[in-house]
Amino acid sequence: MGHETAWKRELAAAFTDPIALLSALELTPAQVPGLAPIPAPLLRPERFPLLVPRGFAALMRRGDPRDPLLRQVLPLADEAEVTPGFVSDPVGDHAARRAPGLLQKYRGRALLLATGACAVHCRYCFRRHFAYGEEGAQRDRLAAALAVLENADEIEEVILSGGDPLMLDDATLAWLIEALDRLPQLKRLRLHTRLPTLLPSRITERLCATLAGSRLQPVLVAHVNHAAELGPEAQRALLELSAIGAPLLNQSVLLRGVNDAVTALAELSEALLASRVLPYYLHLLDPVSGAAHFDVPETEARALVTELRQRLPGYLVPRLVRERPGEAAKTVLL
């Protein structure tokens, strides 16, 4: 019980006020070019306010307004800009919906939006305009998705996503995994989560036991964009997850001003390996409205990954991909 309250307490203490975050970083608003006016007149700011756990903020460099971790989470005035081609549902999630919070785009795999909550609000997130939380009470909504999965014989892998699936409390998560366990056609359970690095205290013994106790093969896909995100606590959390026999993979988004340099990408791959994580995907930014200032053009992305391939062993080079609505898989660009 103590462990479960520890991560919840940490979450409750997260920064929600940009000024407080900047002040902890020894910065004044005047030192940050393009900071969103406060209170921010952003698109629905009440739905996507600043949210940054203190442990993540502690990994940011003091006094540096261009810190790559800070840039991922700090609302900028650029978010209010309207850019042609940048829309509210860039990857066709609406069309792929099979039940509330259940998406299927690809053969054999279904993605379950386990909760709309996250421990951090990433400014480039393609789900920033969605309000999953409004689709009814959590367990009722999940039960409706489970009922659809029961009759989906072709699904071999369920991907828990969100939001962040590890934001579910231990009891709900255990209930959900037990229900998935009983679906005979399922072989694998994949988790897409930022919590091992954003809120490492969430990776408890109990959580590891729940995952290890399932008959389903667990696969964990972390979401790390920069080597500096892998502090000692994150490393501990990842090693514990690895110890239960879950292959650890990582997906990143190629982001202007965060990781759009070959050195940053190489350091990220090496830092991931030190935590037993292999790079999986490097995504081009999904063109979601409000995030155009993070965009790195495809030609530049290809050049970066080409250079990365000349520097690193093949297993440390992520696949450069983009998601195109309606395609049978992510599109591999290189």
DSSP string covering 82-100: --TT-BSSTT-TTTTEEET
Please give the Cα distance from 113 to 138 (Å, whole number).
Answer: 10
Among ligand PLP, ligand SF4, none, what binds residue 122 when CB lies within 5 to 8 Å by partner kind? ligand SF4
Among ligand PLP, ligand SF4, none, what binds residue 276 when CB lies within 5 to 8 Å by partner kind? none
Site for ligand PLP in 293-332 (CB under 6 A): 329-330
Site for ligand PLP in 61-80 (CB under 6 A): none
The alpha-helical segments, DSSP class H, found in 227-278 are: 232-243, 262-274
Closest approach, Cβ 131 to ligand PLP, in A, equals 18
Say whether the peptide bond before residue 133 is cis (omega within 30 degrees of 0): no
CB 193 within 8 A of CB 186: no
- The residue count for binding ligand PLP (CB under 6 A) is 9
- Residue 245 CB contacts under 8 Å (≥ 6 apart), including other chains: 212, 218
Q: Which stretch binds ligand PLP (CB under 6 A): 8-16, 104-112, 202-210, 270-278?
A: 104-112
Please give the Cα distance from 299 to 322 (Å, whole number).
Answer: 13
Find out whether 125 is annotated in a ligand binding site: yes
Closest approach, Cβ 161 to ligand PLP, in A, equals 8
Closest approach, Cβ 222 to ligand SF4, in A, equals 11
Q: With CA atoms as reference, report the closest residue to 36 among 24, 52, 53, 48.
A: 48
Q: With CA atoms as reference, report the closest residue to 99 among 23, 155, 31.
A: 155
Judged by CB under 6 A, the residue of 50, 70, 103, 271 near ligand PLP is 103
Among ligand SF4, ligand PLP, none, what binds residue 121 when CB lies within 5 to 8 Å by partner kind? ligand SF4
Judged by CB under 6 A, the residue of 162, 218, 279, 290 near ligand SF4 is 162
- Residue 323 CB contacts under 8 Å (≥ 6 apart), including other chains: 91, 283, 286, 330, 331
Site for ligand PLP in 105-134 (CB under 6 A): 105-106, 109, 111
Q: Which residues bind ligand SF4 (CB under 6 A)?
A: 118, 120-122, 125, 127, 162-164, 194, 223
Annotated binding site for [4Fe-4S] cluster: 118, 122, 125
